[in-house]
Structure 1
Amino acid sequence: MNKLICCIVKEISKTNSQFTDLELKKMEYGLLCFFDEVTKIIPYYIIFHLFSLQQYYMVAFMFFCPIRLFSGGFHAKTYWGCFFISFLTFCVIIFIGKYITINILTSIVVLISSILLVYIFSPVDNINKRIKSKERRNKLKNISVIIIFLLSGLSYIIPSRFFTTAVLSILIAVILMMMGYINNGLIKK
């Protein structure tokens, strides 16, 4: 995959000489991230579709990924590590969400706690892409809080069979954010 992306970026640099080396590196990193995600999302969908769980997967995806995108979190060291940890994460969310029901009071406690934890600890740096400016860090924190607040509200208006899946997606996204925060703290020492 890396070689293909390098070839694409090399062709872009040949046909568009106005890009700086830094812009080309950013482009290469962005494409690599994009292809890494696509090569996980599609197989997961196919697998969950085989078990008639694709609707639960889509709910888990819609509630998990926006939080993760802005808050950050735990990152595996390799692509395959990420692939299997992410797959296991979605399996846990989907199977617990499908077969266990949480009550409203529990969900309120979980969601309020999640909002507070995101407000306190987000965003979590990615080892490959650190957040350098305080302004960007504050912007990501604010977006994270708004997203988790909106998703929390949305979890109460989606069809009730997906309620636990939605709440669990939010909770696990926050748990992975905390794991990333702790992991980054250990790495810095």
Structure 2
Amino acid sequence: MKIIEKMVQQDIIQKENKEWMEFGLRQAVHIMGNWCLVICIGLLFQLEIWQSLFFYFSYCIVRIFAGGYHAKTRPGCYICSMICIALAFLIYQQITINKIVCCLLYMIAVIMIICYSPMDNPNKRLSVVEKVHYRKIVRCVLLLYSLLFAGTMCISFYRMYVLSLLAVLFAGIMVFAGLLQEKISIHR
């Protein structure tokens, strides 16, 4: 990356940190690209920008700590993620869901995530200490989202509680898909 090379030449960063800086810059560009793509997908489904960002942020936070299905390649992961997001936005746009069904689906997703997370990544297995740590974090995150979900449901802020449901539901689906992925790889 030319910008990093110039920073090394100008002694802004040390040569030994060059690889880390390049990695960080690539990650930042990748993350910003994801956010922009999510906004574009949301706009295609006539969601407001805040709705797209709220869903994506909520979904990502749960997915980071809960784990679940992992594609074998980065492009595969990217495509799978964008399909899930588009599907969630399509569902959000097309259905009206009552509070009882919404609560039941939310509880099923939370139970699934609590029971089976954190899921190992086939490329990097978690140690026992890491599993305990991520289990605590995912439970705290789910508690916060559950409070948000309940609060927005109490004040009948439909758009917010349905987006919360979809974020947790799709994270739960990815945990379930991760279980299937693990079972299939064991039988091979």
| TM-score bracket for the superposition, by shorter chain length | 0.7 to 0.9
User: Shift of residue 37 of structure 1?
Assistant: 3.5
Look up the match of 1:175.
Answer: 173
Does the 8 Å CA contact 2:119/2:175 hold for their aligned counterparts? yes
Contact 2:58/2:167 (8 A) holds in 1: yes
Report the RMSD for the aligned CA atoms in angstroms: 2.9
Q: Offset of 1:85 from its aligned partner?
A: 1.6
Pair 153,128 (structure 1): closer, same or farther in 2 beyond 3 Å: same
5 Å matches for 1:12-91? Answer: 15=14, 17=16, 35-49=29-43, 52-53=46-47, 54-91=49-86
2: CA distance between counterparts of 1:107 and 1:51?
21
**Residues 1:34 and 1:126: Cα distance change in structure 2 (over 3 Å):** farther
Aligned-residue offset at 1:156: 3.4
1:83-117 Cα deviation digits (max 9, x unpaired): 22211211121121233122222222222222222
Q: CA deviation at 1:55?
A: 3.1
| 1:166 partner letter | S
Comparing 72-81 with 36-45, greater Cα deviation is found at: 36-45
Aligned match for 2:109, one of 92, 97, 114? 114
Contact 2:45 2:90 in 1 (8 A): no
Equivalence for 2:135: 141
* Count of aligned pairs between the two proteins: 175
Report the Cα distance in structure 2 between the residues aligned to 1:178 and 1:103, rounded to whole angstroms.
Answer: 24
Cα distance change on mapping 1:47 and 1:111 into 2, 3 Å: closer
Q: 1:33 to 1:120 in 2, by over 3 A?
A: farther
Q: Which amino acid aligns with 1:38?
A: M
> Could you say which residue in structure 2 is the equivalent of 1:105?
100
Gaps of 5+ in 1: none
User: What letter is aligned with 1:85?
Assistant: C
CA contact (8 A) 1:74 1:177 kept: yes
Gapped runs of 5+ residues in structure 2?
none
State the distance in 2 between where 1:38 and 1:77 align. Answer: 22
- Name the CA distance, whole Å, in 2 between partners of 1:89 and 1:178: 14
Give TM-score scaled by structure 1 length: 0.76
- Percent identical among aligned pairs is 24
